[in-house]
Every structure is written in structure tokens, then in C-alpha cells.
Amino acid sequence: MSLICELSDLQRLYHKRVPKMFQGYCESGSWTQQTLTLNKSDFNQILFRQRVARDLEPRSLRSQLVGQDVKMPLALAPVGLLGMQHADGEILAAQAAEEFGIPFTLSTMSICSIETVAANTQKPFWFQLYVQKDREFTKKLIDRAKAAGCSALVLTLDLQMIGRRHADHRNGMTAPPRLTIPNIIDIARRPRWALDMLKTQNRQFGNIQGCATGVEDMNDLMKWTAGSFDTKLSWDDIRYFRDIWQGPLILKGIMEVEDAKECVKLGADAIVVSNHGGRQLDGTRSTISTLPEIVSAVGDQLEVWLDGGIRSGQDIIRAKALGAKGVMVGRPMVYGLGAMGKSGVSKMLQIFHEEAELTMAFIGHRDIHQINRDDIVFKRDAF
């Protein structure tokens, strides 16, 4: 096996093993992909201040996210169709997360159901909810998450409609893939993926079967989503979910201070500054450039986390320095999973942990809680 030193090594392997259609679904952003690009490139504007002659023993990244002890302040973000990147993808990623000591979030749009993931894991995971027009069905999803022992609810607010993702249109993205001649040729070049999928071909969208959408053809994801997702969501609706979910509530997809203040008002435990990994509103700011103003407005009233563009342990430290209590990662998990299954996700987590710990030491700290705004400068201020 080739040597895996950093995330890009897993990404290279991922490109070899996973069909183009699912690569496109994972990697692309919406429209011109400006926001997707900014999410990553804005991290490069943040430079560290190197410190020397410090006592650096012992070192720890241990933290708490909504009251849960974590080995580092990172959670695996909800990603739809994980079970198409690798058979049983949701189970494998959840197992890797629990073994490592960080939370896994199961998407509403997962292939394996809440119950299947619960039956194959030891510790509670988190459930991510998309609010459906069919409210009875939405409420049942929450009941199922409770019954399965999910320990936090992540309510995603930035996908009432799907952003226009050209790659998915061009690839004729479906799950499972529609077997056109180009798809058959592409899949034939990736026998490991094909064999793996054969094992689990009966599993399909385990959570949303039975949702009354009026769109029967689940193969047309865009149409299904348009028929099913609630396009009339209000803060009052969200308050209802706050009332019926007694555990920690995390609101995801917050990019503006005014919305962050609404989250405080309705008693959210955490918010995720997120633009859905640049997959929804293209042309919006990067999450890392938005983070400081949101932290300064509400950071003393709830936990402010960030996702989007984190590609190394160094990026975790950059986000911490700008005030994030924690971070989530989406694509890095998918690269690990598609490349090497569970051991690929574990590898990604191990690499990020090592990179974060080493960076923390180089900037003169041995505990992640010591990291602060004075540890960084912006490139434009650097001279």
C-alpha cells in the first residue's frame, strides 16, 4: 500500500477507487465554486507565530463539544450518501469516530438507517435532520433518533433547496448510479468499489423511506428533495424542534450575526458557521472569514463551531485561534472512507490529531484551550 502521510495521499487513493459520479458529488461546489475555493484558500491567509523555549509536556487536545468529552475538538460532519462512497460507509465512519473518541453525525440522507448504524456501534452518535414538508414524518425521524440513543441533534438550516451543482447534472448523479455506458465503463475500472456495493445493494436511503413527498422516484434526488424538503421553514418551526428534542441542539448553516442571535434566542446549544462546504449559496463568504464576527457577537452565549475547508490539523488550530469551540469535517472523512474504508477514516483522524498537536507545540502551547488570537497574524498584516 502506498504511504499515507497527509490528507492529499488519501484523496489520491480515493480518486482511484470511487466512481467519477460520486467523486463529483463529494468534491464539487455550487455554481462557479467560488465559495468552495474561498473556504480553503482563506485558511492560507492565517499565519502562525512561532514560539520557543516553552515547556511542552504533557500535550493535550482534549475538549468538550456540547458537554461530550472528545479527544480533539472535531466532529465528523453529516454527509449524505456516505454508503455510496463505500459500502456500509455510515457504519464504518461511525465506528472509526467512536474508536478515536470524537462524534460522528449521521445524515438524514444516509444509505444506512439510524437503526442499522446504532446496531453496529457501541457509543451514541449524532443525528442530522433536514426538515421535511411531511411534519409527521419529520417528527418520527426525531423519535427514531431518540430511540436509537443519538446524543445530539444537528438541525441543518441552509438546505431548503439544493444549490445548483453542475458536476451532478453533468454526471447524471443518481444513487445507486444509473447504468449508462460511460458509468459502466467507469465502474468497471474500479472493481473493488463494485464488489463492495454488490454486498449492500439492498440498502437504499434507510431513513427517508416512506416520507410522503409525492415523488416516488428516489433515483431522481433533485426532484425528490424539491418535493420533500420544507421551503417554508421559520424560526417558530425551529423552536418546535427545540421543544421536542431535550438533548443538545446544534444549528448548522449559520453565516450571519442576525441569524446567530436567533439561535441564541431559541436556546440552541451550539451553532456551526457553515455554508455547506460551498455547495449551497455560491458567492457567499468563506466560513473562516465569517467566524470572528459571529464569535464576538454570540460566542459567550453558545458554542460556535465552524466547518468548510479544513484540510489539516493546522486548520483546526487556525479555527481555534479565531475563536471556534470546535470544527466539523466533511470531505476529509469521505476521502478516507472511499480510499480505505474504516481504516482510512481512522488514518485521517490520526493525521489531523498529529498535525494539530505538533502545530500547537510550535506556537508554544501544550493545551488546546490556551490557543488564542495572539497566536496568529493575517498574511496582509505580516510585514
Q: Binding residue for ligand FNR (CB under 6 A) from 30, 274, 284, 359?
A: 274
- The residue within the footprint of ligand FNR, chosen from 19, 73, 78, 341 (CB under 6 A), is 78
Of 288 and 376, the one with the shorter C-beta distance to ligand FNR is 288
Can you tell me the distance from the alpha carbon of 273 to that of 252, in angstroms, rounded to the nearest whole number?
A: 7
User: Contact between 80 and ligand FNR (CB under 6 A)?
Assistant: yes
Is 25 an interacting residue with respect to ligand FNR (CB under 6 A)?
yes
Closest residue to ligand FNR, judged by C-beta, is 330
Give yes or no for residue 155 binding ligand FNR (CB under 6 A). Answer: no
Binding segment toward ligand FNR, per CB under 6 A, in 140-148, 272-280, 345-353, 369-377: 272-280
User: What are the backbone angles phi and psi of residue 12, rounded to the nearest 5°?
Assistant: -65, -45
Among 89, 308, 338, 344, binds ligand FNR (CB under 6 A): 308
Q: Is residue 240 a known part of a binding site?
A: no
Residue 35 has which C-alpha cell?
Answer: 465559495
Q: What's the DSSP call for residue 373?
A: G
Distance CA 29, CA 295 (A): 26
Pick from 252, 325, 353, 365: which binds ligand FNR (CB under 6 A)?
252
273: enclosing H helix or E strand: strand 270-273
How many other CB atoms are there within 10 angstroms of residue 184's CB atom? Answer: 11
Rounded to an integer, what is the distance from CA 231 to the centroid of its chain? 22
CA distance 328 to 78: 9
Burial of 27 (0-12, 13-18, 19+ CB in 10 A): middle
Output the CA–CA distances (angstroms, integers) from residue 121 to 88, 125, 151, 153, 285, in the order listed: 12, 9, 13, 18, 37
Binding mask 164-203 for ligand FNR (x = CB under 6 A): ----------------------------------------
* Region of residue 88 (left: phi > 0; alpha: psi -120 to 50; beta: else): left
Catalytic residue flag (residue 169): no
Name the binding residues.
25, 78-80, 107, 128, 130, 156, 165, 252, 274, 276, 279, 307-311, 330-331
Residues that bind ligand FNR (CB under 6 A): 25-26, 39, 77-80, 107, 109, 128, 156, 252, 274, 276-277, 279, 307-310, 329-331
User: Catalytic amino acids?
Assistant: 276
